[in-house]
Amino acid sequence: MAEAKLRIDKWLWQARFFKTRSLAAKQVSGGHVRLNGNRVLKPAQAVAPGDVLTFPQGRIVRVVRIEKLGERRGPATEAQALYFDMTEKKDTPPKNPSFEGKGRPTKKDRRALDLSRTKEG
C-alpha cells in the first residue's frame, strides 16, 4: 500500500501553525518553508510522517518533525500530537520595560507625581 501523504499547506494549517490555509500557502509559495532542508515553492507539495519542516513563525524559526497526518483541524491538543517540536528553546525571558525606566508608572509613582503637582500650584 502506498504511503499516506498530505499537502504541506493543509498540514501546516491542521497543525495550527497558521490561522488559515491560505496564509500557510502564502508562506510556502513565498519560499519561506523548507522540507528536509530543501526549499518548497508549491503549496501542493506532499508531506509524510518523518519529514522535517523549517519555517518562520513570528520572530522565531520553527523546526518540526511530522509525526502523523491529521484528518481535520481539531483542538490544539490534537494538533500538538501531529508533530515533534525540535526548535531550540531560549532561556532568556524578554526584559520588562518598567525596569529600564520606561513603560507606565506604578501607582506609587503616580501618587508621587500628583503630590508634586499639587504643591507647586
Query: How confident is the chain (121 residues) per 10-residue block, as mean pLDDT?
Result: 84 95 95 95 94 92 94 93 90 62 79 80 52
Three-class SS of 67-83: CCCCCCCCCHHHHHCCE
What is the model's pLDDT at position 19? 94
So what's the pLDDT on residue 31?
94
